[in-house]
Structure 1
Amino acid sequence: MSNLLDSVDLRTQLVGENRLELLIFQLNTSQLFAINVFKVKEVVKLPHLHMLPGSHPNICGVANIRGLSIPVIDLRYSIGMRAIERNEDCNLIITEYNRTIQGFLVGQVMNIVNMTWKDIQPPPSQVGKENYLTAITKLEREGMTRLVSIIDVEKVLAQIIQYDVQVSEDVLDQKLVEQMPGRKILIVDDSSTARAQIRDTLAQFGLEVIEKSDGLKALTMLKQWCDEGKNIHDEILMMFTDAEMPEMDGYKLTHEVRNDPRMSDLFIALNTSLSGSFNEAMVKKVGCNRFISKFQPDRLVEVVQDRLREVLGFEFVD
């Protein structure tokens, strides 16, 4: 299994080209599930798990991986199915999201597939708001077309970690806070949980939020405003965008905005669960103004205040 991810570092070059690679796995059923390889640190056979009495019911124990204690989440149980039956096919997918490391208990891990974000579609609206998917795609396997469900890991983690949207008092500049009510901010993220976290943080200050679930929807709206002769800065103060999204990722979205002279100077902050120096490099490459790893209410508000300083002519303080 270790060979499966030996070249994962080389695969990150796909990010920013509107491409991704998915790690395909099962949850002791024939149905196929996936998460983005870029968030996967390692895949190992299921080790011995140490029980934690009183822990969240989605936590099935703690694994010791090379001296590091990693909480293990039963992914099958977390998305509303029966707890996974542990057997020789079970594996542990170790991931990094939002600056934390956790393991997901899954069944058989199949393979890695290379795809374009244009092949990734939002789940049908008829499935309701309580589903645990950010997207779906199709995969040709053994002469058959198989549906692959891409897990909304943000939502899974939000069930366990209580995210606090309160902002520290020492972060707030009251002169700027007074200027926030009524100003609009565009949020682009395929996770409804992630959008809600940002929306609830900003709503405390009277900021109005426009939400889009993928980069293509956001770009279409922005271009429509420009086609109608609207000044982009009269419509929104700035945009927060995720990196990974169906149809068009945040890097491609930023690239398209920067190459349209009608909105090329839009203030864009990349807000993503992907972390590390790679993202910092991609921010510079595509021209984002800021990079924030999820979920940090203080940083979100700091970025909004910095943008307001620019707009209102206050002295900019980094």
Structure 2
Amino acid sequence: MSDVVGLPVRVRVVGRPGCGRRTVTRVLRGAGVAVVAPTAAADLDVHVFAETLKPEDRRALTRSSRPVVAVLNKADLTGFGGAGPVAAATERCRLLGESVGVPVYPLAGLAAAAAVDDRILDDEVLGALRTLTADPADLGSTDRFVTGEHKLPDAVRQRLLVDLDLFGIAHAVLALRNGAGRAEVSAALRAASALDGLLGGLEAAAAPVRYERLAGLGSATDEAVAARMAAAIEVVRAVGMIVDADVSAEAHLRRAVAWQRYSRGPVSRLHACCGADIARGSLRLWERAGGVPEAVEAEP
């Protein structure tokens, strides 16, 4: 069983050409996600798009044969004003997600890549960014940054754009002005990029995959029952449900009864199975705490 539990959830990055699939792949691998080739067998799809969902994106999302998460890449280009482009992109993702019934997350891909790849924030890049803290350049547009008069060599400016783009440059410079070192700049870029929101979404989407693996084993050992219960709890929590974490005998029994009733209600097959596994695991814990199964079974 440990072999099955330890297998990573395999992720395939797909989407239309030009939307940043390679960047998103690099980001996810840098964050520790098991990304496989687009043609390889996978457990979960990450569908990358830019600006908005086109008809072909919608078809791919609604017809996917496996769990799928959509990523609005280049979220830093969504628009300025208000709380900033990523905040605007987050709201756009919410609306798009409602329209297709698939979770959609924003990502500022280049900033995220710089946050997870130590090779990007090297001495040359950090030195150039520190120069910009003391001698600001025009970050109003790519052309103005490249062609404006500045002490940074053209090649260095081009590299900053390739590696960070204007959004990443601005956030890195702000962090440095506040006294940040390399690690703090990386953390600032990670936060600005919305990477952690996407990773959380992938964890939620992967929960049913991990559960189905365990549910298919069919073992009734204490270890198997506990593992299926833990995986089932991940699934229901991923959709916002609360599972009582109290470890008292009374709480175990209360949880078992509640989730057994839930499993018999008008819920999907997946959630019915999860409810039953949470109930089964809770009863096993209750028995260990001194509960008597016969007494429960005898009650009307």
Task: Sort the TM-score into its range (normalised by shorter chain).
Answer: under 0.3
If the length of structure 1 is used for normalisation, what is the TM-score? 0.27
Relative contact order: is structure 1 or structure 2 higher (C-alpha 8 Å, sep ≥ 6)? 1
Of Structure 1 and Structure 2, which has the larger fraction of its residues in helix? 2
If the length of structure 2 is used for normalisation, what is the TM-score? 0.28
Q: Radius of gyration: which is bigger?
A: 2
Of Structure 1 and Structure 2, which has the larger fraction of its residues in strand? 1
